[in-house]
Amino acid sequence: MPAFDTGRFVTAGERVLLAELPAVGHMVGALRVRRGERLALFHDGELYDAVVEELPGAGLAAVIQSMQPAPLASRRLVLVQAAIRPALLDDVVRLVTPLGVRGVVLFTGERSQPWNVAGRLGRLAEVARSAAEQSETGIVPTVSLENGLGAALKRVDLPPACIAMSPRADRTLMQLNGAGGFRSLGAVAVIVGPEGGFSKEEERLMDSRGVQRARLSTGVLRSELAGFAALLLISEMQEGS
C-alpha cells in the first residue's frame, strides 16, 4: 500500500482524520482501508507508521504509532527545468519525484516556446503528490514557475554544487564527480535547458554564478529526460560516496 501525505507534521499518539487527507477517496474507495489496518503516512521528509481506528461521528482516523526520517530526507536535490510542452512536464515531475527531489523550478528560457505552463501548475502539484505517495519517498517536491533563468537561479539560492546539462560540456557527470564536484555534498541543483538549448546570454549568466557544465556519457537526451538521468546518476553516486 502506498504512503499518504498528511499535509502537516504530526506527532506520536496524534489522531489524523482520513477525511482531512487529500487522498481520502483513493484510500477508502480504491484501497478500501479498514479499521485495524496499518497505514503509512508522511510529510516533508518524515515517515509515520499509523493504525486505522474508527471514531464515533468522525469516521476513520489514523493513530500515529511512530515516526522516522525518510531515507532521502538528508539530500537536497533540485531540478531547474526550462519550460517545455506542458504534457511533457507531467513526465518530468513524475520521473524525478521518486529520487527525493525537493523542488522543481520551471523557467521560461530565451529559447522556450510560449507554452502556458502557469495554467498547469495545479496539475503538476497533483502529479508530484501522487508520485511521492506511490514511491514512498516521504517528500512531495514543490513546483514553481519563474520568468527567466536568472529568476530561477535566485529562487534556488544556488547550492555548493550546481550543474547545467550541456552536450558540449568538456566533462561528464562521472568526471565531475571524480573531481570532487558534488560527491560529498547533500545539496545539488541540476539545470536543464529547452529543446533549443541555452542562449549565449544564459550561458554567460551561469558562468557568472559559478554554474558548472556537464554532459551525459550516453549521448544527448530530450529535455524531459535529461534532468531525470542526471539526478538519478548523482543520487547513485551520493549513495556510494
Report angle CA 171, 220, 175 to the nearest 5 degrees: 20
Q: What distance in Å separates the CA atoms of residue 117 and residue 107, rounded to the nearest whole number?
A: 9
How many domains does the chain divide into?
Answer: 2
Domain containing 63: what range?
4-69
CATH number of the domain that residue 177 is part of: 3.40.1280.10
How far lies 204's CA from each of 7, 165, 198, 223, in Å?
Answer: 40, 15, 10, 20
At 32, list the grid cell.
Answer: 478500501
Under 8 Å between Cβ of 181 and 237:
no
Asked if residue 81 and residue 36 are part of one domain, the reply reads no
Under 8 Å between Cβ of 111 and 135:
no
Which residue from 191, 140, 137, 141 is spatially nearest to 161, judged by alpha carbons?
A: 191
Domain's final residue, options 51, 69, 87: 69
Asked if residue 176 and residue 120 are part of one domain, the reply reads yes
Residues 112-122: what's their mean pLDDT?
Answer: 93
Domain's final residue, options 69, 87, 103: 69
Asked if residue 65 and residue 117 are part of one domain, the reply reads no
Q: Tell me: the pLDDT tens digits for 214-236?
A: 998 877 888 899 999 999 998 88
pLDDT beyond 60 at 124: yes
Asked if residue 91 and residue 189 are part of one domain, the reply reads yes
pLDDT score, position 182: 59
Asked if residue 34 and residue 9 are part of one domain, the reply reads yes
Asked if residue 109 and residue 224 are part of one domain, the reply reads yes
Helix (H, G, I), strand (E, B) or coil at 43: strand
Q: What distance in Å separates the CA atoms of residue 67 and residue 150, rounded to the nearest whole number?
A: 39
Domain's final residue, options 69, 85, 114: 69
Asked if residue 154 and residue 209 are part of one domain, the reply reads yes
Asked if residue 144 and residue 63 are part of one domain, the reply reads no
Helix (H, G, I), strand (E, B) or coil at 57: coil
Asked if residue 127 and residue 33 are part of one domain, the reply reads no
At 191, list the grid cell.
Answer: 539545470
Helix (H, G, I), strand (E, B) or coil at 206: helix
Count the residues in the chain: 241
Residues 110-137: what's their mean pLDDT?
Answer: 93
pLDDT score, position 40: 92
Q: Are strands 103-107 and 142-146 parallel, antiparallel or unpaired?
A: parallel
pLDDT score, position 159: 65
CATH number of the domain that residue 52 is part of: 2.40.240.20
Helix (H, G, I), strand (E, B) or coil at 108: coil
Query: H helices of the chain, where?
Result: 24-25, 86-96, 121-135, 149-156, 173-178, 200-208, 223-239
Q: Tell me: the pLDDT tens digits for 18-76?
A: 888 887 877 777 778 888 999 999 999 999 999 999 888 778 899 999 999 988 887 78
Tell me which of 74 and 4 has the higher pLDDT. 4
> Which of 53-62, 75-84, 189-198, 206-215 comes out lowest in average pLDDT?
53-62
Q: Tell me: the pLDDT tens digits for 144-185?
A: 999 999 999 998 876 668 899 998 899 898 887 765 555 556
Asked if residue 80 and residue 44 are part of one domain, the reply reads no
Asked if residue 139 and residue 47 are part of one domain, the reply reads no
Asked if residue 83 and residue 63 are part of one domain, the reply reads no
